Structure 1
Amino acid sequence: MFRRRINYYPFLLLILAAAFLLSAFILDYKLKASIIEIARAKAQIKVMESINMVINEQIVANVEYRDIVEIHKDKDDRIVLLQPNTILLNKMMAGSVIEITRAMDKLNEESIEVPLGQITGSKILAGYGPKIKVRMITAGQINVDVLDKFEEASINQTRHLIYFHISSQVKVAVPFLDEEVKVATTIPLAETIIIGNVPETYVGLKNDKVPIYPFMDWEN
């Protein structure tokens, strides 16, 4: 009596089909992850360039150190007090948020193009292949902080620098996958050289809605 042969063919087909689908899923996920990673870097550069350009053109170009900080001296012409113009700084911060928002809105209408060859990591293929479009969407509020820093310039001279520290978030999105990207940049507003000892006294007002001063050490 002959034994009936078991037909393994359907099982093999099922295993192969499952393996193929799993491989396709993993490949698709890795491709999207690679696209997002590249798009994240491109988005950070694009947003920072946009923020730097608009702040330098609209804010920094129209302000000088003496507009931001009033210097008080004693009878011996020594600096004894640095008094920030918090009203002007608040206006500058508010204006910066408005200008950055406009710039970000324009970026929302654009897309980042990632060549398919760049996903391979090969320098030779980086610029080749069809371009995958990745959208940028503004996500979260724009934060503008004022910081300052003292640094030694030369003998008996100290440089006082004032910065805007700007941070925000954008979302980069491809079909069925998106990720939020944190973007931060520091833009110098103005600086001056203080001859002699640095004054220990600052006069600062702290607004409950828009906290600015007293000055914060940039290093901390």
Structure 2
Amino acid sequence: MYGRRRPVWVIPVVIGVLILVIIIVDRNIGPTLSEIARTKAQLMGVECINKAVNERVVRDIEYRDLVLVRTDDRGRVVLIQPNTIKISQLMAKSSLEIAEALDQLSETSLGIPLGQMFGSTFLAGYGPKVRVKVIPAGTVNVDIISKFQSAGINQSRHLIYLKVSSKLKVVVPFSSDEVKVATTIPVAETIIVGDVPGMYVSLEKPNAITRSAVQSLSP
């Protein structure tokens, strides 16, 4: 004896409901999920870059490795000149270490609770987690920044930074997006007692001799 057959309209109705649910999720939850994923990916990328540079590159770097300070017969600093070989090695090693660290991100995934997508503080930590993949999507760009900052009466601080930028691809259900990751990492610094040297060879453009001036760093 055979059981009762389901009405022929059941399957089309179920398919229609599933399509409707997908459309609602795509239009209402999709953009929120994408924005949350982008923000988390940026934070993860910056943390990954900072950790790679601080732990694998700059911990053994000192100011005198990167810069040659020339003084006159009275001991006054008259010229700051970059060690272009060391700086090039620093930038190259940083690029390689950062690229390797970012590649490892693709082996993990972000978990975003479903409740967080509804904008509710109460539900933010609840619900099944939506898995989000983060994949490197561009080359790693590393630039050197050199700045002077006033450090008190008759003193100046010379700071050297690495400016790093790259891109990550964020893959979420129904879509994917690219996000730019950028950070500035301090590498070395020193205190110059006396007047700021009248001239220094720019670290950004090693062949350019530039009139120096004390500059305030952006907060």
Say if 1:145 and 1:212, in contact at 8 Å, map to a contact too.
Answer: no
Alpha-carbon RMSD across the aligned residues, in angstroms, is 2.6
Structure 1 distance, partners of 2:133, 2:63, is 39
Structure 2 distance, partners of 1:212, 1:99, is 24
Deviation of residue 54 (structure 1)?
1.0
Residue in 2 aligned with 1:51?
49
For residues 150 and 117 of structure 1, do their structure 2 counterparts lie closer, same or farther at Cα, with a shift above 3 Å needed?
same
- Higher mean displacement: 172-181 or 183-192: 172-181
Structure 1 distance, partners of 2:140, 2:61, is 21
Structure 1 distance, partners of 2:206, 2:159, is 15
For residues 166 and 202 of structure 1, do their structure 2 counterparts lie closer, same or farther at Cα, with a shift above 3 Å needed?
same
1:197 aligns with 2:195: yes
Question: Residue 140 of structure 1: which of 111, 134, 138 is its match?
Answer: 138
Structure 1 distance, partners of 2:118, 2:95, is 38
1:117 aligns with 2:115: yes
Deviation of residue 129 (structure 1)?
0.2
- How big is each residue's C-alpha offset from its partner over 1:4-51, in whole Å with a ceiling of 9 and x where there is no partner? xxxxxxxxxxxxxx9x97786244222111111111111111111111
Structure 2 distance, partners of 1:42, 1:75, is 55
Structure 1 distance, partners of 2:84, 2:48, is 26
Residue in 2 aligned with 1:96?
94
For residues 67 and 30 of structure 1, do their structure 2 counterparts lie closer, same or farther at Cα, with a shift above 3 Å needed?
same
- Percent identical across equivalent pairs? 50
Structure 1 distance, partners of 2:198, 2:58, is 27
Residue in 1 aligned with 2:8?
none
What are structure 2's unaligned runs of at least 5 residues?
A: 1-15
What are structure 1's unaligned runs of at least 5 residues?
A: 1-17
Letter in 1 for 2:98: I
For residues 97 and 171 of structure 1, do their structure 2 counterparts lie closer, same or farther at Cα, with a shift above 3 Å needed?
same
- How big is each residue's C-alpha offset from its partner over 1:123-143, in whole Å with a ceiling of 9 and x where there is no partner? 111110000001111111100
1:65 aligns with 2:100: no
Letter in 1 for 2:152: S
Say if 1:86 and 1:204, in contact at 8 Å, map to a contact too.
Answer: no
